[in-house]
Amino acid sequence: MKLSIIVPVYNVEKYLNRCIDSLLAQNLPSYEILLINDGSTDRSYEIMQTYQAKYPDRIRLFSQPNSGQGAARNLGVQAALGEYITFVDSDDYVEKNCYSSLIALADQHHCDILLFDWFTDYGSRLQAFQSMPQISSPRFLTAEEYLLSSPSPCNKIFRLDMWQKHGLAFPEKIWYEDFALFPQFALYAKRIYYIKQPAYFYFQSDNSTMRHSDFRPKWYDMWKAIALIYQNLYPAFPQETEYLFFSHFLYETSLRFYQVFHTEGLNKIADTMRQYFPRWRKNLYVKKYASRKQKFLCLLFYHKQYRIIRTMQNLKKILRRSK
């Protein structure tokens, strides 16, 4: 078996057919689709059963009580029979026949990890996303460069024996399990290759984990994720760990809390950055890759100047209306 495609499924009956159909539309001769039902309460499990009955040699079906994406993906990794594994979210889909060329590349370069690009599907439009925008052509990545890429599992193909050799697994029962785990692969992967080929379609559905207009207490799981990152990654990659804190925590997580005006969370982010990385402005990656807007907003978040941000936003709205 060449490739195992692991698909955690929870209440996505509206999108599941599209996802599975895209996985069946592959010309790779040796692969399996592992559908992991994570306690769905809609028609998702019924849909999976129909597909598994129709394609018994291609689809394997598993079911567990609702335990979260981390647990579902871990179950898939444990059951996988492929030389390589990859992950697909059940409301997303992939390019037709994409895996044959990607697996050929992984074989050719003896990859532990193969990175590729994707599209974000907003329903009415597609937006191209580059995993490594600073790199212009396909090539091997250093561990440090890999740490600058998106921590998503869905733009990567992994050699399964690397997971098994190092006992790698998603942390369970927390959000941000991807961010907690995938940067740590820099410690173990010897051959990481990047191909500028968009093969995955990330659909921004209403069920997407981070797409909410109201506060979610699970956002506080980010502190569990960054604790794992700091503990496991900082000794080997201090500059890169600091940049991960800047980009995913001080910037992205602050924006998430700010959009719902959750001051308690914003204050906790600023205090945590002071504890771990008070000199983040000196970080070489912040200087090189962060935009002026990112650095300015992060400076305001760091100093808890939320009123200034709101005043700037209101002024921008007034200027737009006056044009």
Q: One digit per residue, pLDDT tens: the chain, 323 residues?
A: 999 999 999 999 999 999 999 999 999 999 999 999 999 999 999 999 999 999 999 999 999 999 999 999 999 999 999 999 999 999 999 999 999 999 999 999 999 999 999 999 998 899 999 899 888 889 999 999 999 999 999 999 999 999 999 999 999 999 999 999 999 999 999 999 999 999 999 998 655 544 456 899 999 999 999 999 999 999 999 999 999 999 999 999 999 999 999 999 999 999 999 999 999 999 999 999 999 999 999 999 999 999 999 988 877 666 566 55
What's the Cα-to-Cα distance from 65 to each of 172, 273, 318, rounded to whole Å?
Answer: 13, 37, 50
What's the Cα-to-Cα distance from 212 to each of 66, 218, 245, 251, 281, rounded to whole Å?
Answer: 21, 12, 22, 17, 30
| Strand residue runs (E) in the chain | 3-9, 31-38, 59-64, 84-87, 93-94, 113-121, 126-129, 139-141, 156-159, 192-203
Residue 302 and residue 281 in contact, taking contact as beta carbons nearer than 8 Å: no
What's the Cα-to-Cα distance from 273 to each of 6, 177, 237, rounded to whole Å?
Answer: 35, 20, 17
What does the alpha-carbon distance between residue 65 and residue 297 come to, in Å, rounded to a whole number? 41
| Strand residue runs (E) in 104-241 | 113-121, 126-129, 139-141, 156-159, 192-203
Residue 112 and residue 191 in contact, taking contact as beta carbons nearer than 8 Å: yes
0.95 cut: is pTM over it? no
Residue 269 and residue 275 in contact, taking contact as beta carbons nearer than 8 Å: no
CA dihedral of 284, 288, 292, 295, whole degrees rounded to 10: -20
Residue 91 and residue 40 in contact, taking contact as beta carbons nearer than 8 Å: no
Q: Which residue has the tokens 């790779």?
A: 28
| Rg for the chain, CA atoms, rounded | 20
Domains recognised in the chain with CATH numbers: 3-203 (3.90.550.10), 217-322 (no CATH)
